Chains A and B, each alone.
Chain A
Amino acid sequence: MRNISSVLGKLAKVVSVGLMLLFAVTMSHAQDAANGAALFKANACQSCHAVGKELTGPDLAGLAERRDEGWIIKWIHNPQGMVDSGDPIAVELKSKYPTMMAAYANLSDDDIRDIIAYVKAEEVKNAEKQTAAAAGGAEGGGGSSDATTLMILGMVIIAVLAVIIIVVLNRVIKSLEKVMESNRAAIEAAQAKNEEYAENRLAKFAKAFLRNKKLVGFAVLGLVALLAVAGWNQMWNVGVHTGYQPVQPIKFSHQVHAGVNQIECQYCHGGAFKSKNASIPSANVCMNCHNTVTASDHYEGEISPEIAKIYKAVDYNPETKEYGKNTRPIEWVRIHNLPDFAYFNHSQHVTVAGIECQTCHGPIETMEEVYQYSPLTMKWCVDCHRDTEVNADNAYYDQLIEAHEKLKKGEKMTAAMIGGLECGKCHY
């Protein structure tokens, strides 16, 4: 009976977390910082810059204090020009960071102001994190902002409320238990009687049932039919691995890459657009971003252990930024296994027919870990070929006389109609 209280405890936690989240949302800054964050990502600033850390370019923390806004705008629009014109700060920067920053003339002055705002917001966040970390052991230090005091106040109220509720409920439970104790004997007697009665009825029913041979026959028949149907259905699923989600050597998340960061599928799976193989990207493609993106903010300043696996594969030393010779390919576990006798060409479907990756691979941009979304059975292929209209804009199809006639009549021309169901199209 104690579990009710634990349930309540959990409830309290959920409520408090929810409130916390609510506060966190209200905490976020004005619109400009959000836009700045988007611009920061869209222009790949993070490849060379971070707030609170020096990368290829200087640390952006304290940017607004260090530099005048006009200077920053000028610099971002044309850094090389400033160096050439002999601006002292620019020249100093150039000598300190030899990799020259690219010019971002496309950014408007307001855009740059937004980015500066974003940098400021990041500074604040970093400072909070630091104080939170510092205050971890000691008594909760004074709120650094209104938001945190509000949050703490809310939590305290919730905790008090929860304690009151728990105490009240426990009282109710105790009194109910007392009532049950007093009536125990009567309840047990009734239960015993019930059981006896049920036993008698069961035995009688079984005897009557067994005597009636027709009934037995029908029952057996029914059972066999049931098993057969179940077996039949089971057989159809032999070798169908929908939902197959093997553990991969690297916990790569499509949700982060394709979902949050909106990286185009083509960036990594270029083969899907020009070849039969979609091709798993080679590790050098990962390194295009991951030589700077280390996700260390999620791992307390350390390089993410998953990203470290890429470094190991390409034998990259993040300290010295040098590559070694001791490379080792990453052995991914293949998820979509088509049998060897079935020929499938990605480019035909992606480039020629213009089918979205998600049509067959499902909501890939939401998958933390990829699983097989489609059954990959022949029925599945055939069904789609029957329904899908041919992309008749392609000049190749001009020679299909029939196609023209159909289209003239306004009829649909599916893949199946131009031979998309013929054996030799996929089996050779």
Chain B
Amino acid sequence: MSSNKKYWKGLEELQQTPAFVKGSKSEFAEPIPVEDVLNEAGLSTKTPRRDFLKALGFGLGAVTLAACERTPVHKAVPYVIKPEEITPGIPNFYASTFNGQSVLVRTREGRPTSISANPNSIGLNQGTDATTAAAVLDLYDMSKLENPKLDGQDVDWKKLDATVIAALEKAAAAGKKITVVSNTVNSPSTLAALAKLGAKYPTTSHVQVDPVSYSGIIEANRVSFGKAVVPTYHLKNANVVVSVAADFLGTWVAGEEHTQDYIKNRDYKSLKNGKMSRHIQFESGLSMTGSNADVRIAIKPSEEGAVLISLYNAITGQSLAGGVSNKKAQTAIALAAKELTNLKGAALVVAGSNDVNVQLLVNAINSNLGAYGDIIDLDNYSKQHQGSDAAFQEFLKSAAAGQVGVAMFLNSNPVYDYFKSEDVKAALAKVDFTLSFSDRSDETASELKAIAPTCSFLEAWGDSSSREGYYSVVQPTINLIFNTRQAEQSLLVWSGDTISIHDFVKQNWEQNILAGTGKAWKDVLQAGFIYKGTEKGGAYTAQVDINSVTTAVVANGKAITGEVELKLYESTGMRDGRYANNAYLQELPDPVSKVTWDNYAAINPKFAEEIGVSENGTVKIEANGYEVELPVLMQPGQALGTISVAVGYGRTKVGKAGNNVGKNAYPFARLANGTVQFESKATVAKAGKTYELAQTQTHHTIEGRNIIRETSFAKYLKDPNSESGRFADSHKTYDLWNKYESPGHKWVMAIDLNACTGCGSCIVACNVENNIPVVGRDEVRRRREMHWLRIDRYYTLESTNGKLTEEKLIAKDADLDYEDVTVVHQPMLCQHCDHAPCETVCPVLATVHSSEGLNHMAYNRCFGTRYCANNCPYKVRRFNWFNYWNDSRFDNYLNNEFTQLVLNPDVTTRSRGVMEKCSMCIQRIQSGKLQAKMENRKLKDGDVKVACQEACSANAIIFGDLNDPESEVSKALRNERVYYVLEEINVQPNIGYMTKVRNTFEA
């Protein structure tokens, strides 16, 4: 039998607020005023005969005139000389690299249309994160510069080059510094180009600084191991993970790669073998990682260090001062320490703090647990975060002292993302010549003398080395769109080298990377990457002076202890803010809060009550001398007395879509122990305004029906069927309709709730594949988001008196602090029901069933009665209120000819007034089938991959043919954990879900 645990999407659902109850009754936020027209008054209104005739006459005339337009003449313009590799209508795939991940770029007739993982790569080879899936849109960004700029004026490259070279020579002659400030650069060819500049102008130096810095880890590793690196974490070897405020599945170090590895110990295959890792999370705001944890303890930011000290004490048996006093945390630490020591060699502790001492403490613990080698790899270390806060401080100091002659900014925007932007501006004012390589006139670039716009990675030659020994190429998939030049080429020109960038990259590879591997440049272009590292790293023991470290940790904790504590974090979509102009990412709901198009102050509901703010209220937050007013978000799971605010918002010069979305939170950061830290004490006060966040969490509510099945690992081991609550197990069903036969294929899907982390990359991949429009903040508020696939996030509350089962209990339970919530993520999309309720109500047969088990939607047949949406129990149908792709009211996003080049030519863009929904990527199914027919063979499992499946790093979405008993999906659906959502209404959905299993501590 299913559990009677209460799942809810938002507080308004839990508390059944009047607004929520009213809203949940109707499918659409703004109902058509049918009642008003059909009531007595409406019916008795007289329509004068003349008015009627006038309207009729006008209508007829207008229609006739409109029909008089001549059929437009369509031109068909073939290539003059067709490139050999292009066949119009057939996509080409090119290996490239994005953010260090080897990817495949799909191009059609020479324009990139989507990005997916390179399945043959090592590391992250399955799925992409949301930013990667969305990156293709950035190529078609209207806000990019079309020409180089000098003093704000468009100039040609010749003039710019002359000016820059003159400035460089002047600085070199005067013995002044030439500094290139960049974010982490791990591209061997970029580094080689920088070296060329250095060879020509000996005063050149390169400073790397990241907005979200990992200096703490780097410095800690330098101290304890003599290796100043961020290690690679092999989570598949970890059976127990304790994370102290590290969002390691989301934004921390390499979230998507961690997800892929982490899930290998938790998905249906692992469970089938009776194996599941345990994950314990201590954090203040509810992060995506925290939402997936088996045990999550809410702590204040100031307690992070204390938790680690307690953990260290518990593991080593020492009794260092400064342990945590929080009762809940103490219990959890005791249990966690036992678990960790039992599983030495397969246990890992990570911390998100950028404080050197905290990381030194973590190193000591991990060293004690024997994590170095199998799990923490210091030899094949990560090269994705090399920024040094100290180096940037140094640069600011020397610039302010007038010692810098030329400053260049490469992928770096400190005026926006450095916590003291005035310091940067003041220092830059003292530099003789400043230049940015930014592709747009951003916050920093607009302050500088010159901009040498670089191009998108899809137009460039290049490479990347995200891990020691791992090298991947970047190759262009389209010609240069604007009059831009990639930064490396500019550097070469200025250092007096005329070599083309392609030759330069190729040469660099042949001389430095490929030498001795027996591979040629062409092989690499095809494979996309080369790996020269080892499987795992060597064992290391940390050298840590534990006493001084703990003292420093305690002191740092004290410094941020306050009535209210503020924690800054990176959001899963926006990251550090560099993708702020990507409309797909702006509209991607946050995995936990489900807020789009804004950042906010996340506050525990109880704490909000204390300070007197309610839903849609705003607060003023003050910390480190910076004050900002932000809308409030009631966040269950947030530690009391803490506020979490996402960085990456509040950009002012990024472009149409991203300007002035949210508020900038970087100035809240502080410098401590030489690193930029994101925790501080703060004061918070209610502000008078109201502001409605565009939050999707209560849209498409399932109205309290029992659709989540959850069990514990212990119960699962006893009975794999536990809590699956399959209706068919206990009931006989009767069919009203005939059974649909699927003699050829039967397309089905299995979704593993235990694997889904809620990251949302599937949503973006679906948007890109299916031309799903972005609607904007106002339209989201009206419940009009168009996403075919959504991830429903359900909370359950746990309180001191056991699990809450009845909503009524909540009102009585005054002690309830909303700190202890558990979360289940459930991807929800068209279930392609065999007895689909939507099909029977469509008056024009616009949605009908296919012989392959799909629920087809013929857009050109639909005329928008919306009965289907009204009748869909899963609420997965979306109505086009506007021609979002072509309506000037949504000017910010996608409705210009240039951006529309991102559209997938195999999928129609839907018009206003029609319904749409998940088609199971029917264009991919059809092309997969056609490919098999052309090759005169049967369709194999894996020939057809739907976009969401392809994007999922956790393998939570499995798609395939049920008629093939050997297909992965057939096997998955035979799993004991499988249940069907709302099975009891017998609509016979074709998507099976697998129960959520939580590896909790059994009391």
Contacts and interface: CB of A to CB of B under 8 A. Distances in A.
Interface of A: 239, 241, 246, 270-271, 274-277, 279-285, 313-314, 327-334, 337, 339-343, 345, 347-348, 351-352, 394-396, 398-403, 418-419, 422-425, 427-428
A329 B77 contact: yes
A428 B78 CA distance: 25
Contacts of B858: 423-424, 427
A332 B75 contact: yes
A284 B81 contact: yes
Nearest to B744: A400
Interface in B908-951: 908, 919, 922-923, 926, 929-930, 932-934, 936-939
Interface stretch (B132-140, B284-292, B844-852): B844-852
Interface string B51-89: 000000000000000000001011111111110000111
B906 interface: yes
Contact of B78 (A330, A398, A425): A330
Contact of A279 (B89, B857, B933, B934): B89
Contacts of A274: 87, 90, 934
B886 to A, nearest CB: 13
B926 A352 contact: no
B348 to A, nearest CB: 46
Contact of B932 (A275, A333, A396): A396
Contact of B81 (A283, A394, A398): A283
B576 to A, nearest CB: 38
A419 B90 contact: no
Closest 6 CB pairs of A and B: A424-B856, A275-B89, A402-B743, A282-B82, A423-B858, A282-B79
24 contacts: A239-B71, A270-B87, A275-B89, A279-B89, A282-B79, A282-B82, A283-B79, A284-B80, A329-B79, A332-B78, A333-B74, A333-B76, A342-B860, A396-B929, A396-B937, A403-B743, A418-B743, A422-B851, A422-B856, A424-B858, A424-B922, A427-B858, A428-B908, A428-B922
Contacts of B81: 282-284, 314, 327
B463 to A, nearest CB: 32
A348 B930 contact: yes
Contact of B936 (A281, A331, A395, A399): A395
A282 B856 CA distance: 37
Given A274-B90, A399-B939, 5 more contacts: A241-B71, A274-B87, A275-B89, A342-B860, A396-B937
Interface string B750-772: 00000000000000000000000
B971 interface: no
A400 B929 CA distance: 13
Nearest to A280: B78
Contacts of A284: 79-82
Contacts of B82: 282, 284-285
Contacts of B803: none
Interface string B523-562: 0000000000000000000000000000000000000000
B850 A419 contact: yes
A391 B906 CA distance: 25
A401 B71 CA distance: 46
A398 to B, nearest CB: 6
Given A271-B89, A418-B744, A352 B933 contact: yes
B942 to A, nearest CB: 16
B66 to A, nearest CB: 13
Contact of B76 (A280, A328, A403): A280
Contacts of A283: 78-81
B659 interface: no
A347 B934 contact: yes
Given A284-B80, A395-B937, A423 B908 contact: no
B844 to A, nearest CB: 11
Interface residues of B, number: 49
A408 to B, nearest CB: 14
B73 A396 contact: no
B978 to A, nearest CB: 24
A308 to B, nearest CB: 16
B83 to A, nearest CB: 9
Nearest to B922: A428
Nearest to B82: A282
A341 B906 CA distance: 10
Nearest to A424: B856
Interface in B89-137: 89-90
Given A277-B89, A351-B934, A396-B936, A341 B75 contact: no
Contact of B850 (A271, A280, A422): A422
Counting chain A CB atoms within 10 Å of each CB, the highest count among B932, B933, B937 belongs to: B933
A89 to B, nearest CB: 39
A424 B924 CA distance: 12
Given A418-B851, A423-B856, A275 B76 contact: no
Contacts of A341: 859-860, 908
Contact of B861 (A246, A340, A398, A423): A423
B77 A331 contact: yes
B480 interface: no
A395 B848 CA distance: 28
Contacts of A332: 75-78
Given A348-B933, A396-B933, A428-B908, A333 B861 contact: no
A54 B78 CA distance: 33
A394 B933 contact: yes
A428 B923 contact: yes
Contacts of A271: 87-89
B938 A398 contact: yes
A379 B87 CA distance: 30
B213 to A, nearest CB: 46
B78 A340 contact: no
A267 to B, nearest CB: 14
Contact of B87 (A246, A279, A352): A279
A337 B73 CA distance: 9
Counting chain B CB atoms within 10 Å of each CB, the highest count among A271, A314, A328 belongs to: A271
Contacts of B896: none
Contact of B80 (A246, A275, A313, A339): A313
B963 interface: yes
B854 interface: yes
Interface in B822-850: 846, 848, 850
B78 A396 contact: no
B80 A282 contact: yes
B73 A277 contact: no
Given A399-B963, A400-B744, A427 B933 contact: no
Given A428-B919, A428-B923, A329 B80 contact: yes
A268 to B, nearest CB: 10
Given A277-B88, A281-B78, A333-B76, A419 B851 contact: yes
Nearest to B81: A284
A334 B77 CA distance: 9
A269 to B, nearest CB: 11
A203 B187 CA distance: 99
B907 interface: yes
A339 B860 contact: yes
Contacts of A396: 929, 932-933, 936-939
Nearest to A393: B936
Contacts of B743: 400-403, 418
Interface string B938-969: 11000000000000000000000001100000
B856 to A, nearest CB: 3
A257 to B, nearest CB: 16
B75 A333 contact: yes
Nearest to A283: B80
Counting chain B CB atoms within 10 Å of each CB, the highest count among A241, A340, A398 belongs to: A340
Nearest to B770: A428
Contact of B926 (A285, A399, A403, A425): A425
Contacts of A402: 741, 743-744
A342 to B, nearest CB: 8
Interface in B771-824: none
A331 B73 CA distance: 11
